[in-house]
Structure formats: structure tokens, C-alpha cells
């Protein structure tokens, strides 16, 4: 079977990576809306419209499940997508990430970091409040992390200074969180960096693997196929391949990226 995965750009490739690890036989079509990224600074209405267009493009390629590998779009567009396509499983990254944080946080002292619109949208806060009402949640938008991740600065002095600026007061303060949700698909590549500032006690939750788990449950039987991956982007095949390879963890060839118009 073919599973459609979409994101505003290349960050969602961290989710594709987890999906392939969990369902190695499935075929995937990944769509990065690189002509219109980032979604994280755009209004909910605009993001919803973009997400519906992207999902439409994937549906036209006969996908039988849809993964919204973008926190911003998961936060604002998941219901609209699910009601438009009631016949296919539609899975976002916010609910699985929030559920994992609630399950794994020792004392329910949870921090969430993400893009500006993910944090303002409040989807993580709402999901955690529903699943673990007594949890204490603190949130922070960390927009510069996206640029660092795209630049490939995963663990440099500059990256460390930015991480200190965003997280130092929480992680080295009197009352550190016991767990932290990496609420943006770009952030998993910064795990080692954050770990180094936070120390080993902090539980770091990235929603990629939990999202893969949730989709596998929804699908029931292990999906068959040839294990292929097809890459679509709305702009810039070269950049998609170059920056995307870092997030996927394997080399993408620019000639394998098909440019589509939404």
C-alpha cells in the first residue's frame, strides 16, 4: 500500500524516516510544500487551505493513508482533512507527541517547544490537558532552531548559544521540566545539543516514532509493498535534496525529486 506524507518542507523527512523504520514494506509518497514554507509563521486559515491542497495532490496519487508530518498543519488542519477524506486514516504528529509526553513524563512537568504558530495555536497544550489534566505545561516558540536545523548546524557553538538563549532558564533553573516535547519536525536533529544542555534526566519526546506507531495501529495489518519512496516538492529540487538528506538521514538525489504545482 502507498502512504502519503506531507510537510511544509523537509522537516517532515524525520517523520518519514521513522515511518520507514516501522513499516519497511510500505511504499511512500512524500510531498514538501517548499514553495510556500514555512507554515509556522502563517495564519491558521492559510495553513488549512495549503494543507487541503497538499492532501488533494497526494490523494490523486492513490495513497491509502495520510500522515500530516507538520506540527503546524497537524494543529490546525487535521479535522478538516479527516472530514474531507473519511475513508482513509489521517494521522497528525501533535496527538501522538502529546500522548507520548503524557505517558513518559515522570511527574507531569512538561515543556513544549515548537514554531511560533504551533505554540500560539495551542494544540499541544489542549491535547496534554485532555490526556493528563493535572500536568503542568510550559511552552516556548523557538523559531531560530528551524534555521539552525536547515543550515545543518546541529551541534556547533552557535547552535549551543541559541539553545542556551531559548532553554537555559528552564533547563538550568530551579524548577526544570522533567520532559520536553520537540514540537517541530525540524527539531529531532538538535536532540544531542539539547541533551547536552539539559543533562540525562530530561525525557525528550519527538513525535516521529510515536506517529509511526499510531499509524501502524490504525492500519492493523503490516502494510505490504516494495518499500519505495517518491519525493514531490513544490519548488527547488536541488535544495530539497541537499537539505532533506540531513533530515532523512540518507542521501536524496535531486533528479529523484519531482516538482509539482498545487
Output the smallest distance, CB 38 to a second copy, in A: 8
Among 1, 22, 41, 154, binds a second copy (CB under 8 A): 41
Structure-block grid coordinates of residue 167: 532553554
Candidates 182, 67, 178, 176; CA nearest to 124 is: 182
Q: By CB under 8 A, is residue 81 in contact with a second copy?
A: no
Structure-block grid coordinates of residue 91: 494521522
Q: By CB under 8 A, is residue 255 in contact with a second copy?
A: no
Catalytic hit among 16, 54, 184, 205: 184
Catalytic site residue 70?
Answer: yes
| Length in residues, the chain | 262
Contact 231, 26 (CB under 8 A): no
| 37: Cβ contacts below 8 Å, ≥ 6 apart | 8, 9
Q: By CB under 8 A, is residue 157 in contact with a second copy?
A: yes
Output the smallest distance, CB 84 to a second copy, in A: 22
Catalytic site residue 142?
Answer: no
Alpha-carbon span 65 to 91, nearest angstrom: 8
Residue the block writes with cell 514540537: 183
38 versus 92: smaller Cβ distance to a second copy: 38
Number of residues this chain uses to bind a second copy (CB under 8 A) = 29
Alpha-carbon span 121 to 48, nearest angstrom: 12
The residues that touch a second copy, with contacts defined as CB under 8 A, are 34-38, 41-43, 46, 116, 143-144, 146-148, 150-151, 153, 156-158, 160-162, 164-165, 235-236, 239
Catalytic residues: 70, 184
Amino acid at each position: 500500500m502507498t502512504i502519503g506524507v506531507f510537510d511544509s518542507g523537509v522537516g517532515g523527512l524525520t517523520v518519514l524516516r521513522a515511518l520507514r523504520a516501522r513499516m519497511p514494506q510500505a511504499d511512500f509518497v512524500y510531498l514538501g510544500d517548499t514553495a510556500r514554507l514555512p507554515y509556522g509563521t502563517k495564519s491558521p486559515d492559510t495553513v488549512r487551505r495549503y494543507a487541503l491542497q497538499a492532501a488533494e495532490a497526494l490523494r490523486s496519487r492513490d495513497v491509502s493513508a495520510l500522515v500530516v508530518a507538520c506540527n503546524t498543519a497537524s494543529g490546525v488542519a487535521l479535522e478538516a482533512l479527516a472530514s474531507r477524506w473519511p475513508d482513509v486514516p489521517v494521522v497528525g504528529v501533535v496527538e501522538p507527541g502529546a500522548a507520548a509526553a503524557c505517558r513518559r513524563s515522570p511527574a507531569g512537568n512538561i515543556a513544549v517547544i515548537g514554531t511560533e504558530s504551533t505554540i500560539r495555536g495551542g494544540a499541544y497544550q489542549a491535547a496534554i490537558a485532555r490526556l493528563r489534566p493535572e500536568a503542568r505545561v510550559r511552552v516556548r516558540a523557538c523559531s531560530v532552531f528551524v534555521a539552525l536545523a536547515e543550515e545543518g548546524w546541529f551541534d556547533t557553538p552557535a547552535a549551543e548559544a541559541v539553545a542556551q538563549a531559548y532553554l537555559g532558564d528552564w533547563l538550568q533553573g530551579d524548577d526544570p521540566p522533567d520532559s520536553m516535547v520537540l514540537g517541530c519536525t525540524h527539531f529531532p536533529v538538535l536532540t544531542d545539543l539539547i541533551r547536552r544542555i539539559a543533562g540525562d534526566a530530561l525525557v525528550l519526546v519527538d513525535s516521529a516514532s510515536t506517529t509511526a506507531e499510531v499509524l501502524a495501529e490504525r492500519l492493523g495489518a503490516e502494510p505490504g509493498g516494495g518499500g519505495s519512496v517518491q519525493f514531490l516538492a513544490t519548488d527547488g529540487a536541488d535544495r530539497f535534496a541537499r537539505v532533506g538528506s540531513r533530515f532523512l538521514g540518507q542521501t536524496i538525489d535531486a533528479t529523484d525529486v519531482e516538482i509539482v504545482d498545487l
